[in-house]
Structure 1
């Protein structure tokens, strides 16, 4: 049973507050969905007509329950039909409906009550009593179901032009959209898509835990401006327990039947584990229906092979190439003369020491930012890292930078609720001169204040651009900084090729 403090939690993938008129659908909806100001809609199959839903109000409990029963009858293993969530509904139970989300489905206060007991009026002293023990549920072996790419296709519609309340959550000081909020939505969408593909349609099957293993690439092809937005995606590749999710962000055209411009493309890798044993769980295989799907699947294979090669040749495993060693030596000859107190050479104004570009922040991990596994939501971590990187980039170029890409990141360890997260940012690569782009690294460490330890959970690599001037040149001082410099250079070179390919494939020009 899914017990929710608000029905609105079902439809919301990325926000902690109830927002009107936001929909997640697998049809092409915004022109067809006229939703009241107090509703949000989740649709996952264009083939099933939307159920008739009576007008709901806080006082019409019977009407709401009648409508909900009708909706539950229409829900299947692929979430066919439509779930309408109203902000007036304070509580609801969906005993057998399939709702695919990575957001928490129970309140934190209820979870605390289940762990520590809840207040009772017995004896009049407000003592706590333990929760009654319930027998463990018996699960059946999960069955594999042959799925198509279309089976996992999902959309999120963000009607920014017409919904001022929604826009208020995403708008930044400059009047454009916040990239960090979009990253949260992408991570939530990837999780929903992955759960949808892995579902076998049986409520008693052994449960799965699906997490973000890595963000392989996010490329911004056009600036984020205020318009109606569609986020869409589906599974493009499956291994034994892993899935590659391809997503894109598009403007919704005002002209009916005309596709809008692609703004952003992203690839995430999700992995599934048996929630009871913690072992890798096999997910549903994929049926490839045409040559296009075969090409997408092959691209997934190629990405997996490229990541394996990159891992094997990482600077943490192998020494730099001969060309890179020459580069390190050249850098040494340059910075040593600037760093030598006996030398008359002074560091030019357009050269910055890498060690002088550090910026840090510490955040408390609160339960409001958790996922359904009671760990901190990966999209929230991306937003925090992006915002620190943006601040650092702004200081580095003394103006507002343009975000270009988020390079591959791996989620090594989950971040527990209640811990301190230390974020350390640094500009690691900038060629200087007429070059406008540069690399910013953000390292995320979980701090154990009792033991006095720090453990790295993620390392983020962002590419920014100075839209007006060329950037200063970053100069390393130590061997460790030189390795960061080489890593940033490698990522920038590979990233430029991937970004160019994405722009070509999605009609964004050079």
Structure 2
């Protein structure tokens, strides 16, 4: 073992004494105080949105639940909403809320929004939008009801970002008739200076969410405040919400789970079956092209435990925005694996949250390429470009949960994402279940084309390539 000489020891002690004297003399001249910055009102992702979403530490919520001896994931059967509560009409402006993400100003905040290639993670933006929809909903309904996300009617990229900038997320209730559901319209736009008005070209994302209010005790729908519609702009937004509600009802009534395919769709199934026979007929020269893949070969799956860090404000269910983030990133990966090219997000098409996801459950996600546009086989009279350089790829993500013991399972939602890839590639169904998934996706694509006809030409492939978002 090495030893230190007396001379060296004296030097060390002398230096230590000198350092102490120097620190004491400096402290009398220079005072260092520790202080924190004033909280920003614009960093909604960390304070404004998250703080509203979760107000009680998990350990306290868990202890309270154990003391009460109740299962918060099940209905108690006892109503907690007063039967005589007053539901006075409210204005759209009453629920308006906005937050600004200072991505260009705060590199550490930006750090949580970027992926490995320097693109903004849209899944994180979607998570913020779902949190914002909850803030807006409770500003309209109040805290005495439980308001949950029922569906995401559509999220579209309107003008892709070409550079990193501060973003403003804003929205309000735009459709509520006084029944249990309400529609919330939101947008993500470039954050402008105070007093400046957002122009159409500043808007990056448009989206609408449908929320449903429930009695916390019975878990049954309860009525909410109706809307007062005054200005021409508000009347237009309300009318759009009315149309979206009608489309949702029509879609439910004509769903393939309830009805057989129509004549045109039956012809398509037959045409695919004939094409499949040709590919495998030794006496036919037609063979399966290299750019055609069977649907069952595109499936990608994940499973994960639902941890309390992603709970909603009611503590024992998972925050809906977390599901959007997870399903988006799986859909993105599925599209990339299918095309062997980097996908660019186009839209989240009408998607539903069927059942809540309990904390502690196991979430299973299954993604499948269910439709490509241009399609392999077009409908009669439909113009199809078989040599198209770009392909729109629709990915369906089905989610279900099981308890830890895996004793029971239930579906929790279906999410439909559309991406664009610079690749000529096609998907082909061959089982009856796959045909139904294909037709359901085709119907969604047709609805998107109709809405694009009203809203504009849609996302330009070249502009999409230059975007800084996924």
Change (3 A) 1:457 1:342: farther
Q: Which ranges in structure 2 are unaligned for 5 or more consecutive residues?
A: 1-35, 68-77, 377-385, 465-470
Q: Quick one: structure 1 residues 43 and 463, their matched pair in 2 at CA, closer, same or farther if it must change by over 3 Å?
A: closer
Q: Which has the higher contact order (CA 8 A, sep 6+)?
A: 2
- SS at 1:284's partner residue? coil
Deviation string, structure 1 residues 419-477 (Cα, Å, up to 9, x no partner): 111101110111253152121000001123535443211011100001x333x111111
Give the SS at the match of 2:273.
helix
1:73-152 mapped onto 2 (5 Å cutoff): 103-116=53-66, 141-152=84-95
1:487 corresponds to which residue? Answer: 440
1:257 to 2:196 alignment: yes
Deviation at 1:254, TM superposition (A): 6.2
> Distance in 1 between the 2:123 and 2:348 partners?
11
Q: Which residue of 1 aligns with 2:207?
A: 266
- Cα drift, residue 284 of structure 1: 1.1
Which of 279, 282, 301 is matched with 2:223 structurally?
Answer: 282
Kindly state the Cα deviation for residue 227 of structure 1 after the two structures are TM-superposed. 0.8
Q: Contact conserved, 1:208 with 1:274, CA < 8 A, in 2? A: yes
* Change in CA separation of 1:43 and 1:345 when aligned onto 2, cut-off 3 Å: closer
Task: Give the C-alpha shift of residue 340 in structure 1.
Answer: 5.1
Q: Secondary structure at the match of 1:41?
A: coil
Q: How does 1:183-262 map to 2 (within 5 A)?
A: 183-199=126-142, 207-224=144-161, 225-239=163-177, 240-253=179-192, 257-259=196-198, 261-262=202-203
Pick from 432, 436, 452 the counterpart of residue 391 of structure 2: 436
In structure 1, what is the Cα distance between the partners aligned to 2:411 and 2:283?
Answer: 39
- Structure 1 counterpart SS, 2:40: strand
Q: Which residue is 1:168 aligned to?
A: 111
Whether contact under 8 Å (2:351, 2:416) holds in the other structure is yes
In structure 1, the partner of 2:409 is 454
How is 1:334-345 mapped onto 2 (pairs within 5 angstroms)? 334-339=275-280, 345=286
Match of 2:9 in 1: none
> What TM-score, normalized by structure 1, do the two folds share?
0.72
Deviation for aligned residue 1:38: 5.4
> CA shift at 1:226, angstroms?
1.6
1:210 and 1:242 mapped to 2: Cα distance? 9
Contact conserved, 1:375 with 1:416, CA < 8 A, in 2?
A: yes
For structure 1, list consecutive stretches of 5 or more residues without a partner in the other structure. Answer: 1-35, 45-83, 87-98, 118-135, 200-205
Please identify which structure carries the higher helix content. 2
Whole-Å Cα distance in 2 between the matches of residues 502 and 248 of structure 1?
15
Question: Aligned pairs, how many?
Answer: 396
Distance across 1 between alignment mates of 2:399 and 2:361: 12
> Corresponding residue for 2:122?
179
Match of 1:319 in 2: 260
For normalisation by structure 2, the TM-score amounts to 0.78
Assess, with a 3 A threshold, how the Cα gap between structure 1 residues 387 and 351 changes in structure 2: closer, same or farther.
same
Change (3 A) 1:111 1:195: same
When residues 187 and 502 of structure 1 are mapped into structure 2, their CA distance, relative to the original with a 3 A threshold, is farther
Q: Please, what is the CA RMSD of the aligned residues?
A: 2.9
Contact 2:360 2:404 in 1 (8 A): no
Deviations 1:45-67 (A, max 9, x none): xxxxxxxxxxxxxxxxxxxxxxx
